[in-house]
Amino acid sequence: MAGLSHHTASLAELEDFRFDDEEAFLTAARQRFKGVVLFQTCNRIEILVHGEAGTLTAFLHETGRERFDILEGVDVLRHLLRVAAGVDSMIIGEDQILGQLKRAWTASQEAGSSDEITDLCMKKAVHVGVEVRRRTRINRGAVSIGSAAVALAEDLLSSLEGRHILVVGSGEMGMLVAQALAAKDLTAIYVANRTYERAVVLAEKIGGKAVNFGELRRYITLSDVVITCTSAPHAVITRDLMAGVMKERCWPLDGHPRPIVVIDIAQPRDVEAEAGGVDGVSLYTIDNLRDVNEHTLAERRSEADQAEAFIESELTRFIGLLNSASAEEVLRMLHTWAETIRVRERDRALSRLQGCRDDVPAVIDDLTRVLTKKLLIDATFSIRSCAEQGQMDEADRLLNAITRGNRSCFRKDD
């Protein structure tokens, strides 16, 4: 697994690392790896592959990505379970990560880039994520990135009572923001989205007002807080737009604009960084939510500790499952090799039996199948045993010795 997360990368670094065309990335990656899953959220971009770390490093360098973290083997499995459990999230215990993992897995399957191993990894991760939340209270009263943004706005303004707030974007994150706002004593909640019908649906759920995207400037002008979280690939709120807005928000006597708080939790960002330089605009991004995580972590440390203990216990089972799957892969190669030889020799024998009874071909076919199976019993047992114990090098050596007649595969002390 390779990638970046909020632990080691800034928002700008995450944006630079992001793959805008996920389908194109998966199409290219599946030419190099047996299985690939691309996982992109606001706080992490990670690539899980069934393949070699060196190959993954080289592949990412070819895409222009130079700086990233890389994990191998058991470290990948542990990390994947921690991510699914919510203990590696910026907001400890948040639930959105499970849905995001499922969508990444589905995208991989639809692109034809998943395989038995990556499917097993994702299935196990989702299972552990669900179980952690069932066995602990790690997500009890948990805040999402969306509700953390609302908490930040409340902290900045001391109170949201009587305020006008605009939510730009009505996807999953927009829904979380709107739900958090609905619990506050606001004068007005506006919901803007490029697809007006979706804005209407969300606004009706929270008792807000749907806004046509073409009226965005007007409703920014009316608002005290703007929280934006669209999936647009480019900025939807520019410096020029905010400059125009702030001119319309000037105090009647001294000419200074009424201040406005803009919180951008989109990835990639919805608001141009330069917009924060406009007089009266206080711009915040996901990077500013890190303090919320520290507070959340302190409150949920005991629950997180329980989750970590469960993850370690599941890790042993996870490794066993993967080793068993790897064993099946090696054994398929062995039996495919044997079947090729069996069919070839059967056909040669049948070609020499001219004028034989009609039942002879079936008898010979059954005989060759039984002989092949019996001859491979010991080899199958040895290869499976090695693989299930994680000794994949041993399993590969046995396979090569049988299928390639490679005596050098054996050590002197074998």
Q: Which residues of 120-141 are buried (b: 16+ CB within 10 A; e: fewer)?
A: bbbebbbebbebbbeebebbee
Tokens of 243: 């400059």
Identify the pLDDT of residue 293.
61
Identify the pLDDT of residue 95.
85
Identify the pLDDT of residue 105.
97
Average pLDDT, the chain: 88
Identify the pLDDT of residue 254.
63
Q: Please report the sign of the dihedral spanned by the C-alpha atoms of residue 303, residue 306, residue 312, residue 315.
A: negative
Lowest mean pLDDT among 236-245, 251-260, 343-352: 251-260
Lowest mean pLDDT among 249-263, 341-355, 367-381: 249-263
CA angle 258, 261, 262 (to 5 degrees): 130
Question: Is residue 162 marked as binding?
Answer: no
- Cα distance between residue 340 and residue 337, in whole Å: 5
| CATH level 3 topology of 2-141 | Beta Polymerase; domain 2 (3.30.460)
Give the best-scoring range by mean pLDDT among 100-109, 168-177, 308-317: 100-109
Whether 36 contacts 108, CB under 8 Å: yes
Identify the pLDDT of residue 141.
63
pLDDT more than 70, % of the chain = 93
User: What does the pLDDT look like over 28-62, one tens digit per residue?
Assistant: 999 999 999 999 998 899 999 999 999 999 999 99
Identify the pLDDT of residue 294.
65
Identify the pLDDT of residue 399.
82
The closest alpha carbon to 49, from 38, 61, 62, belongs to: 38
Please say if the pLDDT value at position 347 is more than 80: yes
Q: Dump strand ranges (E) for 208-348.
A: 209-212, 225-228, 260-264, 281-285
Per DSSP, 215 falls in state G
| CATH level 3 topology of 145-292 | Rossmann fold (3.40.50)
Token pair 């807080």 in the structure block, residue: 225
Question: Is residue 100 marked as binding?
Answer: yes
Question: Is residue 400 marked as binding?
Answer: no
- Cα distance between residue 125 and residue 122, in whole Å: 5
pLDDT more than 90, % of the chain = 50
Question: What residues form DSSP beta bridges with 164?
Answer: 188
Question: Is residue 23 marked as binding?
Answer: no
User: What does the pLDDT look like over 267-282, one tens digit per residue?
Assistant: 889 999 999 999 999 9
Catalytic residues: 42
User: How far, rounded to the nearest angstrom, does the alpha carbon of residue 345 sit from its chain's CA centroid?
Assistant: 49
* Upstream peptide bond of 268 is cis (omega within 30 degrees of 0): yes
